[in-house]
Amino acid sequence: MRIDIITVLPELLESPLGHSIIQRAQKKGLVEINLHPLRNFTHDKRKTVDDYAFGPDAGMVLKIEPIFEAIETLKSEREYDEIIYTSPDGEPMTQNLANQLSTKKNVLILCGHYKGIDHRVREHLITREISIGDYVLSGGELAAAIIVDSVVRLIPGVLSDETSALTDSFQDGLLAPPVYTRPAEFNGWKVPDILLSGNFKEIEKWQLEQAIERTKKLRPGLLDEER
């Protein structure tokens, strides 16, 4: 899988995309991630990528010309399955969406910044807009990092135990059940006996019951969505 990211501040992405699971996935050749500074696609001496918005609203807007040139340049080199814009008013990022994106070959992500981007980009160049939550960030770089992390870990071969991702929260529409590790007792707090029983059938039954109970308590809306 190849992921290209167009950004005003590539420095914000270098650390989260250069360590841990994402780093190992790149070293294995399972994913290629490329950062493209938007200022590289400007032609004035000051490398300007923003301008004032038309109308009375305050705030700067990313200009259409450098974004258009960046996207068109990258599209001339390969065909993209999705061209994504990180936006607070996009569709919510979900585990199901992460699963879908993990099957793509080439994905391009445009990070918003300042007040946003010229809307003509969204109308004519973007294929999908994604939000990581109902709040506003200073820029879309952190959102892009979250999207990439949630997607890359699902690519076969990235995790040392591929079945691990299948038991994550939201994979089956439920929160994950509680997990424990050694010691079986600490400070008088004990691991549930069922997990020490070795009866995998009963353990799976208990885990499902716990997942449903936790979802009812913490995220009841997920159960409503399943209906």
Domain ranges of the chain: 2-152, 169-226
Q: What is the DSSP string of 10-73?
A: THHHHTTTSSHHHHHHHHTTS-EEEEEEGGGG--STT---EEEPSSS--SEEE-HHHHHHHHHH
Residue of 158, 147, 118, 156 lying closest to 5 (CA atoms): 147
What's the Rg (C-alpha) of the chain? 21
pLDDT in tens, the chain (227 residues): 999 999 999 999 999 999 999 999 999 999 999 999 999 999 998 999 999 999 888 889 999 999 999 999 999 999 999 999 999 999 999 999 999 999 999 999 999 988 899 999 999 999 999 999 999 999 999 999 999 999 999 999 999 765 566 666 567 789 989 999 999 999 999 999 999 999 999 999 999 999 999 999 999 998 887 55
Strands (E), 63-134: 82-92, 106-111, 128-131
pTM, 2 dp: 0.88
Fold annotation for 2-152: Alpha/beta knot (3.40.1280)
Asked whether this chain's domains 2-152 and 169-226 adopt the same fold, the reply is no
Residue 59 zone, left/alpha/beta (φ > 0; ψ -120 to 50; rest): left
Domain 169-226: top CATH class: mainly alpha
